Structure 1
């Protein structure tokens, strides 16, 4: 999928100035109908930019073509992922052997930090990974806004009266699914399902283990401890005759964090 931030920058560069929220709102539209409506609104404000985005297939950058088809959580990029990837650009400019060395040291350092952070969360009694907990807490904030009616132990619906007409969301408390796209996208209960859990007064720890089973802190920590990062032995490396070192610009000033890390590791 295309990076929305880069699409935004291209549109501003070539199509003039406009409110960037138009593009961000287009990207997160849950349905084709809402996408078409917001694109029409954008066209009235900036026809050139709207035509530029309209010519790009929504499958390549919008959420709605993938709703209930693909799980995008963990697959779509984010600012955090982009910032981590920027460190790799320095490694790509190294010679092949130096790049392998630097990549291994970087991954070893990252793995060590992840293990330490996971240990601290477990010591505090946290049940979910950090990002999953943030998602869950955010959805829980809005759960109280819904009126819940359960037709059985399994099925029910959550009603919202924020607009002129009540909006109804069907929930399945056994499969942890909802008529909204959120659970399918993030594999975390949405506010409507959480409202159902609060209505049923389910035991918190048991509910978290069942509804957020893919993001349990203990499982994550065990997977970290079971994995390791090692340097590639030189005797196992065979030149392919193709890989070459690209030209790299040298900038004066302080060495980067990555260079400092590699230098420190080699000195040990």
Structure 2
């Protein structure tokens, strides 16, 4: 029968099969099974909104009258990233502290180029940007030179010399030449050979030591001056001069016979 035709003992029904108001009390009292009213659309929308809010990270909190409100859930992932970034920055900043000793000066390079000098004490540098090379400016350094060299009378003699020097300009010491120590060693060898070549073997082995020492120091200073290597010569010591082992016995016989 049609939905609006009388039925159920004369009671009219609505489109959902429920009795219209105004029917007998028995019909109104029967609310089970098929006689239930239409679904509550407000309740359906409310439940659907709650489910969608849960998927979106919100959390419903109930309040009076059965209503609920949506509140933002804390973003745990974003908080972890923030804490990790802060920890990295703290570690990076702490790694930049360093100490320069009293006898040293720090040569700071920024991206490989000289930036400035730092004094003794606690200092800070941006890690991965600046590099610091400590240079001792008070220590007396020593360099030994030796070799078999030719004299003016075409004899060979083995000589040994010790050079003492100090770094006075850390920047020039590191950057004027590739290696100031190696350059000084080569200059010492060259100066010593030049001086030995001016004297006879007899003079070198006897009374010529003082002259050879002073001549070698003067020649060495003139050689290294144009390079401005940031070092100062303190002393040049002429330690030993003797014939090579291969001819030492013959030289001793000649020397005694003379």
The normalised TM-score by structure 2 is: 0.20
Higher strand share: 2
Higher helix share: 1
The normalised TM-score by structure 1 is: 0.20
